[in-house]
Chains A and B, each alone.
Chain A
Amino acid sequence: MKQLKILGQLLLLALIYLLGNQVARLAHLPVPGNVVGIILLYLLLNLGVVRLEHVQEAADFLLRHLVFFFIPVAVDLMNWGGVFYRYGLALALAIVLSTALTFLGAGAIAQWLEKDGASCTD
């Protein structure tokens, strides 16, 4: 019975994903269908059309094993070995610098706004 319930929830998630894909395609959005799907499900949950108990077991199950789905994607790496050999240093530099700046930018502005907001409301 529980498996059947999760299967039904999985179908609902798949349906919303397909809907997201169609919306992105038909509206010529330059945004992936899965992003449209998330926004769609978030709106449906807020509007009360879909309730948490309609999707949460399947969502939690998939998210718990999300890493599994990343593995077949990463197998594509076997076609890209040469890129690391040729551009490894530049790639590493870009990743390190850009990641550090992302952390500092996001953290600094959030901390600044939080202090600012606290002084207004307290």
Chain B
Amino acid sequence: MILFSVLLTVGAYLLSKALYLRYRHPLLNIVLLGAGLVIATLLALRIPYQSYVPGQRIMTWLLGPATVGLAVPLYRQRSLLRRHRREIFAGVGLGALASMLTAGLIALAAGLPKDVLLSLLPKSVTIPFAVEIARIHGGSPGLASAIVVATGTLGSVFGGTLLTWAGIKAPVARGLALGTGAHGQGTAMAFMEGERQGSMAGLAMTLAGITTATFAPLMVRLLLRH
């Protein structure tokens, strides 16, 4: 069953990647498409979710070392990081806090259940961070990852237009906003705008993950103190 789970997931990944590369449509998201294919296959063969879990554990474990690897691009771009440290720390810091606070307050106002609210908090950070942040505080990894993809899709489709409309034209600021607000999907868009925007977005994506993880405990206490 483990072998079946792994093969099924690899097949779903290759198929959805091929579809994405062929049509390049932002709504053809590899994560959602791939997961959709796996879920459809499990349902069609009447295989319960529980049987997929052992294989899932093995595959997602590798996400840990992969995430640690994000230190490599961060280190390669360290001179850029040093040169723009003020903008980066202020932009990423404000963006990450605004993301958690506004998402949390809207969730409270709308009366969303606690586990849904906790899965919503890390919505702007890349999946490996979001999953762990949600898990630590009592949210759902799967729900968090879907919310992250929704945020990234929205951000990569409308983010550039919104920034232009708001008069934010400086390449550094645009890259920072795209990486902080829409993680890897925003970073991909930033690279389409230009090399500088893309590099800044990549830095911002990783730093926003670290910032969000650091301040999430505080935010959770603030939002759910009763």
Q: Which chain A residues have a beta carbon within 8 Å of chain B's beta carbons?
A: 10, 13-14, 16-17, 20-21, 30-35, 37-42, 45-46, 52, 55-56, 58-60, 62-63, 66-80, 83, 87, 90-111, 113-115, 117
Contacts and interface: CB of A to CB of B under 8 A. Distances in A.
A21 to B, nearest CB: 8
A76 B140 contact: yes
Contact of A17 (B34, B38, B55, B68): B68
Contacts of B146: 74, 77, 80
A13 B159 CA distance: 33
Interface residues of B, number: 106
Contacts of B112: 87, 90-91, 94
Given A33-B132, A71-B12, A99-B123, 13 more contacts: A16-B65, A38-B210, A41-B71, A46-B75, A73-B56, A73-B63, A80-B142, A80-B146, A90-B110, A103-B155, A104-B166, A106-B91, A110-B176
A78 B49 contact: yes
B42 A72 contact: no
Contacts, number: 322
Please list the 10 inter-chain residue pairs (A to B) with the smallest Cβ-Cβ separation, ordered nearest first: A76-B142, A106-B95, A59-B69, A32-B132, A107-B177, A90-B110, A110-B91, A74-B35, A111-B173, A62-B66
